[in-house]
Structure 1
Amino acid sequence: MILASPDQRYALALEPEPESYSKWWRISCTSEDENWYAQFGGNTPVEILAGFTDALLAPRPETTPDVWSILIAAGWTYVRDERGHELAEHPDGIMQLRRGSNPDRWNPGWSAAALLPDGLGGLETLWEAHLGNAPHLAAAFATALVDPDPVARAEFDVPHSGLVTQQPGGRQAYELGKEHAGRLARARANSVVRRRTPLTTQPVTGSAPATPAAAVPRR
């Protein structure tokens, strides 16, 4: 399945594969003021993926957001090494967000991964995402990533259930359907606003991370 935005600015392809860790979702933008490519594994939580795609429909912020401050404010650690590589990690070590600094690599962008020890001294990747090099989209992804609100899942449809707290939600299918319909309506409204809003560009500038504060992350 391939979708294109009305202005042909963005393209989204969904190509499911047998392996859920493969790249199922591919999103790209090629224009004069934006040029990036993002891809997401099949196990990427839909709520986090939606945070990224919803930002495509909203007007771009006037200033460049600081992605790292969003995570640090949620209690993540942040380090930048002597080569300029950056890493933010959740305290339990399962979630990471990285950004490399390699002058020989075009458009390195951000990448996220959920990792678990495999019992053999290595790590098992639960899901992985490459976000491209658009700061406002990476910020939207990070905001969804640390959102503490619970998510709806079937009782026996939670991988690694020992890592999460499950509680009966009590919401019925029609309620979830109503919420989804409302979300689609808001997305359409944002799409109309975006088409009517002139596009602007802003220089990308770095900023120092904010002071950490406790919060509960979403995985």
Structure 2
Amino acid sequence: MRRKQWSGHGAQAVQHYLVHPRHLAGGGDLRHATEFLRASGWRDRSKARGPLVFDSPDRTVRVGYDPFIQPGGWTITGKPTAHQDAWHATFTRQTPVEIVSGFTDALTRPRSAHAPHVWAPLQQQGWTTERAPQFTATSPDGDAFVRFHQSGPGQAHWFAGARTEHGRTWDAMFTATTPMHLLQAFTTALADPQPVMRPRGHVPLSDRVRTTSVSVLPHELSAWQQARLTSARAATWARASGASARRAAFPGPYAPAGGARQRR
């Protein structure tokens, strides 16, 4: 029997669920994060049957996902540069990939000129904050939190996580040197009130999870995924074109447009 082409025509709709709140939606499809990195020009250095590994174009940041160790999950590491100390972030396996990608997507974009505010996205969505004993923000349902913890001089970390009636579902940790704009991207994705989609059989069993059943055609899923990747490729191309234009406009004192440099 001949296989049909991936066109979606004549294909049957597949049952999916919109899951709310997103912080209790479970891990999701890793490709939501990794394919965006690939489309943004990151190098895939993963080995067959091994952990996923992606390096930034300038080789200063590495994103990895390893399900073969305990507790397993995401590890993001930034090397020290002239303007940034080394930093480290981790997400356990059941962290919703849409929340992880809030952080990893931000790695592919230029840093905003505006000063970042980690707590603002949470407060705008009704998260409550308290300052003692550590500065903590808690979701309206009480099942997710973000905390800045400092046990002593030079011993500070950011923590986040979520729980259900069955216990803790995921944890995230960020060193104090993690760039603030990345932390704001994380809290923005965490506090986003929009539900996330999960296929049948991939919705966590919890009384605290609310779902809406939807029927989705395969070509609709493909179109949504491609739109996200197209935006990543377009942004990457625009940055590369802008950089090329700036180099052409300002060749520098040692590359005169007229050829060899003349001596006086």
TM range (shorter): 0.7 to 0.9
Give TM-score, length-normalised by structure 2: 0.65
CA distance in 2, matches of 1:131, 1:149: 24
Task: Compute the displacement of 1:6 (Å).
Answer: 1.0
Q: How does 1:1-219 map to 2 (within 5 A)?
A: 1-17=52-68, 22-30=71-79, 31-34=81-84, 35-81=86-132, 85-106=134-155, 108-118=156-166, 124-132=167-175, 133-193=178-238
**Contact conserved, 1:109 with 1:134, CA < 8 A, in 2?**
no
Which is worse superposed, 148-157 or 50-59?
148-157
**Contact conserved, 1:9 with 1:29, CA < 8 A, in 2?**
yes
Per-residue CA deviations over 1:168-214 (Å, capped at 9, x if unaligned) read 2222222112211221222233344556778xxxxxxxxxxxxxxxx
CA distance in 2, matches of 1:197, 1:99: 37
CA distance in 2, matches of 1:193, 1:12: 23
Higher relative contact order (CA 8 A, sep 6+): 2
Task: Compute the displacement of 1:105 (Å).
Answer: 3.5
**What's the C-alpha RMSD, in Å, of the aligned pairs?**
2.2
CA distance in 2, matches of 1:154, 1:56: 28
More strand by share: 2
3-state SS of 1:33 partner: coil
Structure index of larger Rg: 2
Distance 1:111 1:187, change over 3 A: farther
Distance 1:105 1:194, change over 3 A: farther
CA distance in 2, matches of 1:136, 1:194: 19
Query: Structure 1: which 5+ residue stretches go unaligned?
Result: 119-123, 199-219
Give TM-score, length-normalised by structure 1: 0.77
**Contact conserved, 1:88 with 1:96, CA < 8 A, in 2?**
yes
CA distance in 2, matches of 1:131, 1:117: 25
Quote the sequence identity (%).
34
Matched residues, number: 188
**Contact conserved, 2:145 with 2:162, CA < 8 A, in 1?**
yes
**Contact conserved, 1:24 with 1:40, CA < 8 A, in 2?**
yes
Query: Structure 2: which 5+ residue stretches go unaligned?
Result: 1-51, 244-264
CA distance in 1, matches of 2:126, 2:184: 16
**Contact conserved, 1:57 with 1:190, CA < 8 A, in 2?**
no
Distance 1:115 1:105, change over 3 A: farther
